[in-house]
């Protein structure tokens, strides 16, 4: 799908930067609550409160119940609870009163207040010690004996009650040669293929919040908070693809919810692909940063949680949570007291050993109680003193993302995003030196955004590479050369080979070649993106012609019913209850399993399949030889593995591109492919004209187009029948099956419509020619380097975009560490004029072009 037309060399390094998420006011708006706006009638709604004190009313009896209170505290007590929410336990008496308790029905000032009788007395010290021991020894099934009803996640989308069919694990018999394929296999969806992307993608389901959901399980609709360039920069937007709809839905595929956590949740990342209404495709990368919910919204949310607990939580659960919180606070106070005594005790004495033993016992008990408390924290107070860090213990996510038209630049965008959000983590990321004038000073986020989206240009060829700086860090965006396989320098395939075994990789490859309906499943959103991108790049020289949605949002999950080939990724949190009735393939990336409700895919010919398996075992021996467990790598789980700034893309941070290896590997025999080093010098691959005529498929089966085909713009005509007759019998049936796929037909069409000297065609032909002629000797050697070994354009000259390094208004620490919901125009600077990049018209302060973007003699820009 062609991008929007742009002038050669003026495409920006990234089309858009966006901020998405929710504001604290979406969680709880105090003004809306006071005005009664947006209130939903539900069991959580508070009943009207009597304001008149009836001094003459009769004293209470056990049988009398108030009409308006129903045992709940007065409405004005909310202010008192709000003021005391940061107390030691934040569990008011009303929180643990059961619905069957006897309450007073009078609001007289002389009323006698009776003590609260808890249903089910608390555990004694001995019983509690026994429970802790049992929990320590039977941690997995201890809590199964306690039937909790609070905090149970409800289905937020209606699902059918039809039982889901259990797919069968895909297996290939050892003696199967691929020739016994069922005629008309449904994996070849030629009859059901749709011509347009939008014809099979339904409209997203509307966001429908459920009022009875627990406040911490409630979903909120993400919104687009800001973007750059904004809508009013019309001239700038003409050079970019249109900004797509539903970007927040892809940044948060399962919508947004408030998280209650003792520590700040880990920063995560993922990528996605979107196709606009004009069939323009944009690829995106976003990083999810967590920020604390402000105190006003947190107090309002806590009041909602208290109301929910009174309605949905039984007294035993409330008592257990309260008892654990109190005991945990006492143990922490005891630990503090013991630690204070430690310096006064002589080392290596018996008293010191006894004190250390007591400290170890208390620490172990605190850890056990903390683990025991977590399952019931969902129905208790959101913060417990001594356990929860931060102001409120409640967190909301915010996404910072980059979108562009080039999928091979997504690793660069990811590393750039990780670098610019480091100040937002408040020093939690290790291996990042502190700011200083000698090392570097952070700049506002706005200036980094302008540097990426306006000042830096996208590399067009391998002649140049673009350098961007974030403080002292230097990052380089580069493209593959014309004689390199597309995506070979930038696309990460390790994550896919880490999740799946080699046999499953081959089976998945066969399903993809047959254009099946493929559903990827994982608990980690980033893993879905990594696997999807690896799959479509491993198809070279074919291209995936079906629907491609690496991250399928929950509100678009009905897309799996589309009657066409697709590759979609679904996060396990919103895995659908009902899968399609027609044939589909489910790849569980976390469990290394491939299941399907249809027949096995058309298998590769036996010799090619065995050879492919052997080569992959040599190339990826981490499972079989080194015992690496299957599963997503750590960098697919979180953005900063082990709280460190590390990267799986070292080439992004190196100014020197690694040398090309394609000419080495295509000349190796299968038996020597597993060797550590390749041949020291490349042998001539084309020996003489007769060998060339026999080897090049184009000259054997491609004839010049004539008649109507020539008038329609075709250069060649492929003789399919002659090609099929020339193949071995074991390959004919598989090729006949492959011939029914859209990817194969588009591959043939591309060869017929391009000239032989086109770099795309020439690369594939030279690879095939090198494979056929490897190991042969030549009497005549060529003086001119062949296409694969030609490195004349492997230059990657650095063109630097001047990093922002000037002063900015405001306090340095507060400006760089903020987690903004909108870009501040006062912190932006006018983009510099670089090869036609538009600038904001200003009467003064004209800036010079960036010197590093000029040519060697300073007379013009370096070619891209």
What distance in Å separates the CA atoms of residue 624 and residue 628, rounded to the nearest whole number? 8
Q: Return the higher-pLDDT residue of 357 and 7.
A: 357
CB atoms within 10 A of CB 520: 26
pLDDT tens-digit map of 704-759: 988 888 889 899 999 999 999 998 888 999 999 999 999 999 999 999 999 989 99
- Choose the weakest-confidence range: 37-51, 285-299, 653-667: 37-51
Q: What percent of the chain has pLDDT over 70?
A: 68
Q: Which helix (H) or strand (E) holds 339?
A: helix 315-341
pLDDT at 769: 84
Burial (Cβ within 10 Å: 0-12, 13-18, ≥19) of residue 833: middle
**What is the average per-residue pLDDT within 456-468?**
92
**What is the average per-residue pLDDT within 665-693?**
49
What's the half-sphere exposure (Cβ side, CA atoms, 13 Å) at 608? 12
State how far the alpha carbon of 483 is from the alpha carbons of 253, 479, 661, 685, in Å.
Answer: 38, 11, 11, 15
Strands 797-800, 464-470: pairing is parallel
Predicted TM-score (pTM) of this structure: 0.77
**What is the average per-residue pLDDT within 27-33?**
64
Cβ distance 226 to 823 under 8 Å? yes
pLDDT at 76: 42
H-state helical runs in 444-501: 445-450, 494-499
pLDDT at 257: 92
> Where does residue 579 fall: left (phi above 0), alpha (psi -120 to 50 degrees), or beta otherwise?
beta
Q: Return the higher-pLDDT residue of 786 and 814.
A: 814
DSSP 848: P
User: What mean pLDDT value characterizes the chain?
Assistant: 76
User: Which residue's structure tokens are 């090869």?
Assistant: 835
- Choose the weakest-confidence range: 366-380, 655-669, 799-813, 831-845: 831-845
H-state helical runs in 501-656: 502-513, 525-537, 606-619
**What is the average per-residue pLDDT within 315-340?**
80
DSSP, collapsed to helix, strand or coil, labels residue 464 as strand
What distance in Å separates the CA atoms of residue 76 and residue 86, rounded to the nearest whole number? 18
Split at pLDDT 50, 70, 90, the class of 198 is low
Triad 330, 335, 337: Cα angle to 5°: 95
**What's CA 632's distance to the chain center, in Å?**
12
Split at pLDDT 50, 70, 90, the class of 261 is confident
**What is the average per-residue pLDDT within 423-439?**
90
Cα four-point dihedral sign 346, 348, 354, 357? positive
**What is the average per-residue pLDDT within 19-36?**
74
For residue 584, pLDDT over 70 is answered with yes
Q: Go through the domains of the chain in sequence order and give each one's CATH number.
A: 1-21+220-293+398-435+444-456+802-864 (no CATH), 168-198+491-643 (3.40.50.11500), 662-773 (no CATH)
pLDDT at 197: 57
**What is the average per-residue pLDDT within 633-638?**
96
pLDDT at 365: 85
Cβ distance 240 to 16 under 8 Å? yes
User: Which residue's structure tokens are 């049992």?
Assistant: 134
pLDDT tens-digit map of 73-118: 344 444 433 333 333 333 333 333 333 334 444 444 444 444 334 3
Q: What percent of the chain has pLDDT over 90?
A: 42
The token duo for 629 is: 């467990």
Residue 108 — φ and ψ, nearest 5°? -70, 150
Cβ distance 441 to 457 under 8 Å? no
CB atoms within 10 A of CB 196: 9
pLDDT at 34: 56
For residue 632, pLDDT over 90 is answered with yes
């Amino acid at each position: 799908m062609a991008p929007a037309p742009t002038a050669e060399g003026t495409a920006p390094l990234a089309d858009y930067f966006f901020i998405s998420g929710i504001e604290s006011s979406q969680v709880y708006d105090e003004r809306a609550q006071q005005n009664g706006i947006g209130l939903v009638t539900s069991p959580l709604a508070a009943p009207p409160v009597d304001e008149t004190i009836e001094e003459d009313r009769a004293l209470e009896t056990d049988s009398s119940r108030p009409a308006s209170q129903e045992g709940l505290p007065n409405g004005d007590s909310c202010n008192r609870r709000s003021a005391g929410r940061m107390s030691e336990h934040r569990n008011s008496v009303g929180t643990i009163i059961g619905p069957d308790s006897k309450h007073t029905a009078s609001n007289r000032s002389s009323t006698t207040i009776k003590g609260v009788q808890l249903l089910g007395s608390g555990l004694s010290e001995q019983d509690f010690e026994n429970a802790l021991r049992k929990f320590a020894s039977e941690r997995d099934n201890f809590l199964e004996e306690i039937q909790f009803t609070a905090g149970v996640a409800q289905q937020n989308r209606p699902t059918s009650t039809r039982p889901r069919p259990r797919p069968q694990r895909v297996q290939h018999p050892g003696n199967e040669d691929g020739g016994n394929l069922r005629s008309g296999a449904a994996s070849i969806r030629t009859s059901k293929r749709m011509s347009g992307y939008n014809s099979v993608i339904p409209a997203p389901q509307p966001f429908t919040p459920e009022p009875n959901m627990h406040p911490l399980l409630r979903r909120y609709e993400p919104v687009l908070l800001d973007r750059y360039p904004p809508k009013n920069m019309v001239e700038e937007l003409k050079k970019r693809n249109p900004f797509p709809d539903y970007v927040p839905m892809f940044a948060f595929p399962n919508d947004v919810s408030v998280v209650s956590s003792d520590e700040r949740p880990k920063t995560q990342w993922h990528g996605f692909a979107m196709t606009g209404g004009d069939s323009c495709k944009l690829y995106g990368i976003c990083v999810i940063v967590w920020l604390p919910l402000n105190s006003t919204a947190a107090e309002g949310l806590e009041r909602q949680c208290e109301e929910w607990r009174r309605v949905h939580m039984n007294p035993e659960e409330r008592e257990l949570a309260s008892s654990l919180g109190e005991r945990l606070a006492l143990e922490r106070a005891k630990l503090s007291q013991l630690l204070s005594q430690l310096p006064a005790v002589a080392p290596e004495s018996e008293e010191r050993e006894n004190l250390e033993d007591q400290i170890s016992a208390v620490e172990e008990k605190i850890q056990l109680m903390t683990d025991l408390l977590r399952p019931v924290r969902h129905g208790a107070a959101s913060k417990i003193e001594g356990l929860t860090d931060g102001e409120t213990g409640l967190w909301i996510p915010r996404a910072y993302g980059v979108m562009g038209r080039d999928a091979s630049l997504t690793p660069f965008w990811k590393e750039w995003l990780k670098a610019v959000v480091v100040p937002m983590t408040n020093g939690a990321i290790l291996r990042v030196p502190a700011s200083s004038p000698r090392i570097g000073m952070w700049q506002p986020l706005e200036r980094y955004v302008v540097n990426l989206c306006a000042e830096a240009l996208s590399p067009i060829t391998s002649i140049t590479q673009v350098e961007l700086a974030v403080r002292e860090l230097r990052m380089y965006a580069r493209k593959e050369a014309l004689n390199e396989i597309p995506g070979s320098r930038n696309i990460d395939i390790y994550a896919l080979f880490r999740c799946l075994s080699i046999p499953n990789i081959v089976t998945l490859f066969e399903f993809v070649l047959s254009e099946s309906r493929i559903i990827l499943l994982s608990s980690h959103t980033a893993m879905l993106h990594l696997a999807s991108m690896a799959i479509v790049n491993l198809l070279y020289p074919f291209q995936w012609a079906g629907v491609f949605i690496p991250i399928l949002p929950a509100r678009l999950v009905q897309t799996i019913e589309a009657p066409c080939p697709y590759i979609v990724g679904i996060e396990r949190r919103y895995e659908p209850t009902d899968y399609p009735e027609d044939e589909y393939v489910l790849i569980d990336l976390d469990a290394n399993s491939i299941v399907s409700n249809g027949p096995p895919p058309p298998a590769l010919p036996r010799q090619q399949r065995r050879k492919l398996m052997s080569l992959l075992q040599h190339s990826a021996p981490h499972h079989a030889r080194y015992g690496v467990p299957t599963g997503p790598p750590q960098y697919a789980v979180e953005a900063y593995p082990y709280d460190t700034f590390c990267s799986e893309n070292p080439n992004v941070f190196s100014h020197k591109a690694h040398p090309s290896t394609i000419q080495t590997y295509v000349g190796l025999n299968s038996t020597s492919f597993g060797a550590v080093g390749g041949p020291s010098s490349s042998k001539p691959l084309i020996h003489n004209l007769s060998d060339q005529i026999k080897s090049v498929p184009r000259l054997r089966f491609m004839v010049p187009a004539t008649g109507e085909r020539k008038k329609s713009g075709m250069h060649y005509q492929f003789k399919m029948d002659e090609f099929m007759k020339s193949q071995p019998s074991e390959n004919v049936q598989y090729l006949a099956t492959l011939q029914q796929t859209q990817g194969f037909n588009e591959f043939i069409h591309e060869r017929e419509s391009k000239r032989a000297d086109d770099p795309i065609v020439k690369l594939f032909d030279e690879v095939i020619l090198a494979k056929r002629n490897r190991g042969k000797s030549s009497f005549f050697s060529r003086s001119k380097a062949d296409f694969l070994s030609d490195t004349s354009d492997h230059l990657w000259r650095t063109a630097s975009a001047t990093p922002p390094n000037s002063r900015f208004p405001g306090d340095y620490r507060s400006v760089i560490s903020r987690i903004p919901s909108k870009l501040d125009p006062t912190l932006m600077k006018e983009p510099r004029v670089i090869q036609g990049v538009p600038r904001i018209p200003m009467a003064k302060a004209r800036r010079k072009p960036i010197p590093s973007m000029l040519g060697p003699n300073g007379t013009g820009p370096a070619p891209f």
